[in-house]
Every structure is written in structure tokens, then in C-alpha cells.
Amino acid sequence: MLQVQFIRQHKEEVLERLALKQFKELHLVDEIIALDDSRKKLTVEYDETKAQANALSKEIGKLMAQGQKEEAENRKSTVSSLNARLQPIDEQLKATEKALHDALILLPNLPSKLVPAGRTPEDNEVVRSGGDLPTLYEGAVPHWDLTKKYDLIDFELGNKLTGSGFPVYKNKGARLQRALVSYFLDFNIDAGYTEMNVPHLVNEDSAYGTGQLPDKEGQMYHVTEDKFYLIPTSEVPLTNLYRDEILKDTDLPIKMTAYTPCFRREAGSYGKDVRGLNRLHQFEKVELVQLVHPNKSYEVLDEMVAHVEKLVQSLELPYRILRLCGGDMSFASALTYDFEIYSAAQEKWLEVSSVSNFESFQTNRLKARFKEGQEKAQLLHSLNGSSLALPRIVACLLENNQTATGIKLPAVLHTYFGAEEIA
């Protein structure tokens, strides 16, 4: 959530950067400033009325002690009148504060000055790429055929149990999932991240804190009776571990990693782009989250991008890194880099990771702060990244490494998987 003071002091910059993000409700900026003006005015009126009532109340006792009963009664009458005025002022103040908050949460985060202009994914910038595009043998097929051939994943059985987008991993397919999760976690732990095991459901406060509510409410599975949400990523519970906390600067950075299933309704998704593992309602992912000093968040973002790049390189997959344009960014992000892997059988690039800096947008909602010595507490910056999302990694590993006799696995997975290939 943006801070009102920043909006007031940098109105034109706010409007310009919101426009870069293709945000249409720019009138909210003026409404927020007007509501803040009203809030300040009502606050002053309330405080002055309350102070006047308190001052007169103190005089009443002195007047009674001096035997000035009539004057004391006049003071009492005035105090009663002042107190009667306080209630409607207070009610109006609370209503104004709520309206201000409700308007503020509709504003997305401001894009960084590094964000390129653009409306669609086609406007994203390719920062760099790596790896060689594979040349497949003549009989190569997409992963949905490979999973059937080697009995790795049963999409129809998942459809029977739940519905489309909930596959059942079997035999070596299940083992490959477990191998990837273990390898990803170990890779992150070796880089200084602390492994966490967090709930897969969160309450409304947690979903609000990281910006899923109210922006992505329609994309989340909702347990209505308990008002819980199935997590779309472990970013939500991990970041909320520090909601309403004040850390010491010596505690920073906070570096966490976690493996969880992720749940996304993906309403409106259909067609060839959702076939097989390309887009699921339930999938597994290993996540990275950092909470850092504001002065270091962009340095940390570069470090996280480099970390994920090394992980992708270790899987021997062709990749490219994109800097997302304003129109393709998430609600809460200030700057995002996407990783895409080339799917040789489908002849297309598939997103497997997003690494983002949210600056203070999430931590302002969370009230996650830190203190340097005796100075006033200030907001942390939060960052997160996929390290990695499994479905499309599995799809590309299967497709890019298929041969006439089996599927070769990258060397880093041999020990974790217990074999060099799937045959």
C-alpha cells in the first residue's frame, strides 16, 4: 500500500508512474488527497474540542472548592455540550479514515524507474539469455505424450478425483517431483536461506498483507465457512511471519525458502496454452522471500536473479530473463524479472519463475518494520522469487532431454533421482 504522505508530496510522479502500469483509475489520487485533507481537519476539530472539554473539566473542581457553584454548573453545561459534539465528529472521522483506507488499497504499487513502458508481454525486455536450444530427434513428442508413454503423470485420473488442472504424479514422475523439490531446497539453503514449513491456508489478514486481497480475490480458492484462502504461493505465509513485527537492523536480511503446493483458480484459462503441465490449478513450487533494509533491496534483487539463474543453468535448460513492462506487472510489484525456459517439443517459451521487488508496498500493509539503534522504526522492503515452479520445469526437462530410448536427466539430479535417465 502506498503512503499518503508520499502521494501528497509527489502527486505528479505518482500519476505518471501509475499510468506506466496502465492503471486507469487515476482519479483516486485526487480523492485520496481530498480524503486526507478531511481527515486532518476532523482530527484537529476533534482534538481541539476534546482539549477544551478537558480544560473546562479541570476548572469545575476548583470552582466548587471556591464555592462558585453557579459558575461550576455553567462549566458543566458547556462540557456536556462539547462532549455531545465529540461523538458525531468521531463518527465522521472514522468514516473518513475508512474511506481513505479503502481508496488507498485500490492503488497498485508504483513501478520502479527501471520498468520499461509497454502494455502486453510482447513489450517485455529480454535482459539476457543462456543455454543452447536443443535439436530433438525425429520422433520427439510433447510432454503430455511422454508422461503417458513412461507412466509418469495421469491427467485423466486427476480429472476424476478433482477436475481439470489437478494431475496425479505416479511412479518415476512422483520421484522426479520429490527429487526437484529436494534439490531446489538444498540449493537455496546452501545460499543462506532458512528453510520454513508453513500453512497452506491463510486468513484474510495474511492475504491482504501481501496484496492478494483485494486484487486477486477471484483467483484464489476460498474456504468460505472459516474465511481461509488456499495459498497461491508460499510468499503469502512466509512474508506474513513478520506482520506487526519490529526487527533490529542487525537481524537483516531475513532470507527464507519453503516448498508448498500452490492453488490458483486461473479462471478463464483454456485452449492449447493450458494443456498438460502448462497451466494447473494445483502445482508445487519452492519459493524465496527476503526482508531487507530499504537501501539494499535493488542490490538484493540482482542477487536473487543471479541465484535463480544459476539454478536454471544447473538444470542445463535454455533460458531467457525478461524485465517486465509496466502493463505486464503484478499489482504489488515495483520491478519484476521473469525467467522463461524453452520448450523444444512445443516450440515456445514457458515462464518458470518471477523475481520481484515490492519495496515497502507489502510491508506497509503488514506493518513490518525495523529499527536502527534509537531511531524511529521504518518499513522494511520485501522481495520474493520462484526457485522454482515445478510443472513447466518438468515439462521442459522431459521434452528437451527425450531420446528414442528414454529421457536423460541433468547431472545435478542423478543422486536425488537415483538414476541418470527415465526409461
Could you list the residues known to form a binding site for ATP, using ranges: 264-266, 351-354
What 3-state DSSP class applies to 37? helix
For residue 278, the 8-state DSSP code is S
Cα distance between residue 148 and residue 126, in whole Å: 34
Q: Which residues are annotated as a binding site for L-serine?
A: 233, 264, 287, 384
Cα distance between residue 71 and residue 9, in whole Å: 49
Cα distance between residue 155 and residue 139, in whole Å: 22
**Pairing relationship of beta strands 348-359 and 381-389 according to DSSP bridges:** antiparallel
CB of 281 closer than 8 Å to CB of 166: yes
CB of 14 closer than 8 Å to CB of 110: yes
CB neighbourhood size of 191 (10 A): 16
Enumerate residues 6+ apart whose C-beta is below 8 A from 339.
308, 309, 312, 319, 320, 321, 322, 351, 352, 353, 354, 355, 386, 388
CB of 220 closer than 8 Å to CB of 265: yes
Dihedral of the CA atoms 151, 153, 155, 156 (nearest 10)? 40
Q: Which residues are annotated as a binding site?
A: 233, 264-266, 287, 351-354, 384
How would DSSP label each residue in 285-317? EEEEEEEE-GGGHHHHHHHHHHHHHHHHHHTT-
CB neighbourhood size of 135 (10 A): 7
Which three three-digit cell numbers place residue 270?
A: 483454456
**Pairing relationship of beta strands 348-359 and 335-343 according to DSSP bridges:** antiparallel
Which three three-digit cell numbers place residue 288?
A: 524465496
